[in-house]
Amino acid sequence: MKYLKYNLEEVLRKIKARRYIFLFLDYDGTLVEFKDNPEQATPPDKVKNLISELSLKDNIITTIVSGRTIHNLLEFFKGIETQKINWIGIHGAQVKYKDCDIALSDDARESLPFIRNLKSQILKMTDGIPCFYLEDKKISLALHYRKCKEKDMLHMPAVIDLIDNFIRNKPLDYLKMKKVLEVKPGNINKGNSLKIIGEKYKSLVPSINICIGDDLTDEYLFRVNEDGINIKVGNDNLKKINAEYYLKNVNDTYYFLGRMVNLP
């Protein structure tokens, strides 16, 4: 995998060869640093300004693709014209096109009763272990354990067994991310975002997709984006990710987005 800053002109030549640019951006770990409390991972003004400037360019279609809810993302980006951006939440369960309301996929709606049932079981098992934090996104459940110490992690195999047994023969699966385990509707993943947005804007050609993300959930984006540009943020798990380029950290992301803003 090549460091993007050392190969930037090569990437920019690929981008300039197409009339339209579809930009897919993960949120946590890509646009903002991770925080122990997810609600504290708010975007700095620099990020909000970059996203706003990108959304104003006629040839760039910007989509934020996150495991967070769209409501959460819109709250974070309050102050910019969010109606000029596409939003995809809960790994693809929620979709909000420019100037449209939030829509929920059929797969997500079918999973809601099972998610509620599982929530009560996880809460019962993790009660009394304060380092575990269960985030209820209504459409999915995210179990955060960033604050857990080694002795606390002895409880994790039992939690995973509970989830494995519960989701068997149900329309659910789960993702293991950076100090987070998330149960979600089974047919939902970020890779669907390219298909959803591609269908919505199929008249905009010739185009190129640029996907930027930091963890294994973004691998779904990269796999679908075979003919586009895939950029991994962070220099961990480089051999496990199907991306041609990487950026070291979120500051590198800001640098690259700044170059995108200044494209003619």
CATH number, domain containing residue 136: 3.30.70.1020
pLDDT at 233: 96
- Residue 14 sits in the same domain as residue 101: yes
Number of domains in the chain: 2
Per-residue pLDDT of the chain (264 residues; tens, 9 = 90+): 999 999 999 999 999 999 999 999 999 999 999 887 888 899 999 999 999 999 999 999 999 999 999 999 999 999 999 999 999 999 999 999 998 999 998 888 899 999 999 999 999 999 989 999 999 998 999 999 999 999 999 999 999 999 999 999 999 999 888 889 999 998 889 999 999 999 999 999 999 999 999 988 899 999 999 999 999 999 877 667 889 999 999 999 999 999 999 988
- Same-domain status, 19 and 78: yes
145 & 253 share domain: no
Task: Decide the pairing of beta strands 94-96 and 86-89.
Answer: antiparallel
Query: What is the model's pLDDT at position 118?
Result: 96
Q: What is the pLDDT of residue 240?
A: 72
Could you tell me whether strands 172-176 and 207-213 are parallel, antiparallel, or unpaired per DSSP bridges?
unpaired
Q: Which domain holds residue 149?
A: 106-185
Same domain, 20 and 96: yes
The string over 146-178, giving b where at least 16 C-beta atoms fall within 10 Å of a residue's C-beta and e elsewhere, is eebeeeeeebeeebeebbeebbeebebbbbebb
What crossing angle do the helices spanning 250-261 and 8-16 adopt, rounded to 10°?
40
Would you call the peptide bond into 206 cis, given omega within 30 degrees of 0 as the criterion? yes
**Do 74 and 18 fall within a single domain?**
yes
